[in-house]
Structure 1
Amino acid sequence: MARTNGGSPKARVIGAELRKARQENGVGVRELARRLGTTHSKLSRYENGQSIASSEFVASTLTALGVPDAARERGLDLARGRQWTNWLAPNAPGLHQELTTLIEFERSANHIVEVSAMVMPGLLQTSDYARAVMADLPSADLETRVTLRVGRREVLNAKSAPRLESLIMEAALRTRIGGKPVMAEQLRHLCKMAEKPNITVRVVPEMDVWHPGHAGSYILFGFPSSAPIVHLEHYNSRVFLHEPEDTCTYQSATDRLRNLAMSEQESSALIVEAAREMET
C-alpha cells in the first residue's frame, strides 16, 4: 500500500521517475492504469508525488512499461530506500539518484533561491569552473558530471522557466577556484546570466556581523502548488528538508540575507571589478 506523505521529496522523485518512464514509452495514464488493474486517479497521485508508491507497485509499473533491467533497478532503488521525514542521503548510491532529485525540483519549481557561501551557484557555473570544483572526482566520471551540471541550466531558458534568485557571499567572488583565468570567465558569465529577466544576482558584502550566509550554502525551492523544499549539500552527503518548521527557518534566513545584500546594480559593479582583478 502507498503511504501518503503530502508531496515529500521522496514521493516527488519517485513520481517523476514513473512519469518519465511512462512518457518515454508513449503510454497514456489511463492505458497504464488499465494494464495495472488500478485507477488513473491513483496513478496520477503517484506521478504527482502526492503519495509514495510501494516498491512492488513501482516494479509492476516499470515491468508493464517494458523498461530495461538497468533502468528498472534504478527505480526500485529509489522505492526501496527508507522513507525518512527529511531524506538524508550520505554516500548517495550513484549519480542518477542525485540528479533525478535536483532536476525534478528545478523543473517543477517556479522560484529558486540559491545562497552561495564559497562557490558559485550550480545553475550559473561555466564548464571550466564546474570542472575545477569537481577536480577530485575520478577522471572517468568528471566530464560526464561537468556536462550534466552545465546542461541543467537549460531549465532557465525553458518556456516555463523558474525565477532564479542568487545570493552570493562576497568571499565567493574572491576565491580563485581553477585559477585566475577560469575565475574571471566565471564572473563575466555571472554578469551575463544576470541580464536574463528571470535571473537575479545579488552579493552579500563582507561584514563584521554574523548572518545566515556564514552557516553555509543552501537552495530553497518554491513550487506553485506544493510546499517548499530546502536542499543542503555538504562534502559527502545531501539532505532535503520539507517539514514546515525547517523550511520556515530557511525562508526567514533568506529574508535576512535579502535585506543585507547589495542591489543588483551594485552587485554587478562589484562582480565586474572582481573579474578585472582576476584578469590583471
Structure 2
Amino acid sequence: MHINTLDPGASPLDYYGFELRRYREAAGLTQRELGKIVNYTGSLIGQIETARKLPTLEFSQRVDAALDTGGLLTRLLDLVLRSQLPAWFRQVGELEARAVEICSFESLMIHGLLQTEEYARTVLGTLDQSNLDDRTAVRVGRQRIFAKEEPPVFWVILSEAALYLEIGGRRTMRNQLARLLTYENNPRVNIQILPFSAGTHAGLQGSFNVYRFENDPPVVYTESYGSGHPTANPETVKDCSLRYDHLQATALSLRDSAELIRRVMEERYGEQRDADGDSVAQVFVQR
C-alpha cells in the first residue's frame, strides 16, 4: 500500500503507522533521519508507517521519546498487537485485557501468558513458519497485561505433563521452567501443578479459562482446532468454576509446585550456571 493512501481507520496497525508518520513529519524529519536518532533503519520506519511491519515495545518507546509524543505509540501498541491475533482468538486478547481475575487450567502446555519467546516461537512454528517473528511477538505481547498499573490476578493450574513435554529442546525447556519460577513470590501470578498422581480429575475434558471482570458477568473460554468458544452462560460458568475449585484442591500447593518445577528443571533438563556459579533459576528469580 502506498503511504499516501494509508487509511488510519482501516486497523490499529494502520492508525499506528499514520500517527508515526504524522509526528515524524511534524518534527521535520525524514525516515532515515528518525532512524538514525532511534537506532533503526529508515527502511524499517517506512515499513511500520505503511503498516507492513509490526512495531515492538522498544521501538515504540524510543520513537515516543524522540518525537515527544507523550507516550502515544507505546499506549497504542497493546491495541495493535491484539488486533494481529488470529481472528478466532482475538476475543481472548480482549478478555485478558479487561479481566480482573483469570483462572486457567492447561492440560498439555505452558499457558501463553507465561511462555518465553523461545518456547512460543517453537509452538507457533510447528506446522507454519510464515510470519513467525510477528506471530511470536504478538503472543508474547499478550503478557503486557501484567505490566498494567492494576494487573489481573492470574491463577493457573498446569498439568505435570506440561513440564515434561519437551518443546524446543532441553535449553528451551530449562529457560521456560526458570521463567515460571520468576513468579514464585508474585501474589498476582499463582502457578500450581496438577501432579500425575492425581489420577482422575475434574479437568479431564480439557483446558479452559474463566475470566472475571469488575462489572460484567464472568466468561468461560474453551477452544478446539482453529476455533474458540467463549460463553457467559451462567450454568457453564458455574460448572467450570466448580471444576476449577476441585482442580485447585487436587493440585500441589504454590510452594510444592515451585519445588516440583525446580526439581524437573534440574533433573530432566540439567541446570545451566552463569559465570558466578549461580543457577539459572536463581538468576531469574532475583531480577
Q: TM class, shorter-chain normalised?
A: 0.5 to 0.7
Query: The residue matched to 2:196 in structure 1 has which SS?
Result: coil
Q: Counterpart of 1:257 in structure 2: which amino acid?
A: L
Equivalent pairs, count: 198
Q: RMSD across aligned C-alpha pairs, in angstroms?
A: 2.8
The answer on whether the counterparts of 2:198 and 2:250 sit within 8 Å (CA) in structure 1 is no
Aligned to 1:78: none
Aligned to 1:278: 268
2-structure distance, mates of 1:257, 1:219: 13
State which of 195, 201, 219 in structure 2 corresponds to 1:211: 201
Aligned to 1:236: 226
2-structure distance, mates of 1:234, 1:181: 29
1:256 maps onto 2:266 in alignment: no
2-structure distance, mates of 1:205, 1:164: 20
State which of 177, 180, 185 in structure 2 corresponds to 1:187: 177
Structure 1 unaligned spans of 5+? 1-16, 27-93
State which of 98, 101, 114 in structure 1 corresponds to 2:91: 101
Query: The residue matched to 1:214 in structure 2 has which SS?
Result: coil
2-structure distance, mates of 1:162, 1:139: 32
Query: The residue matched to 2:182 in structure 1 has which SS?
Result: helix
| Structure 1 outlier segments of 4+, above 4 Å | 23-26
Listed one character per residue, the Cα deviations across residues 96-117 of structure 1 (whole Å, up to 9, x for unaligned) are 5345312211111000011111
Give the structure, 1 or 2, with the largest relative contact order (CA under 8 Å, sep 6 or more). Answer: 1
Query: 1:239: how far off?
Result: 0.9
2-structure distance, mates of 1:262, 1:170: 10
1:118 maps onto 2:118 in alignment: no
2-structure distance, mates of 1:232, 1:96: 15
Listed one character per residue, the Cα deviations across residues 23-43 of structure 1 (whole Å, up to 9, x for unaligned) are 9899xxxxxxxxxxxxxxxxx
TM-score by length of 1: 0.64
Q: Counterpart of 1:213 in structure 2: which amino acid?
A: G
1:225 maps onto 2:229 in alignment: no
State which of 126, 151, 155 in structure 2 corresponds to 1:136: 126
Structure 2 unaligned spans of 5+? 1-8, 20-83, 271-287
Q: Give the percent of matched residue pairs that are identical in Structure 1 and Structure 2.
A: 28
2-structure distance, mates of 1:112, 1:203: 16
Query: 1:208: how far off?
Result: 5.6
Q: Counterpart of 1:120 in structure 2: which amino acid?
A: I
Q: Counterpart of 2:183 in structure 1: which amino acid?
A: M
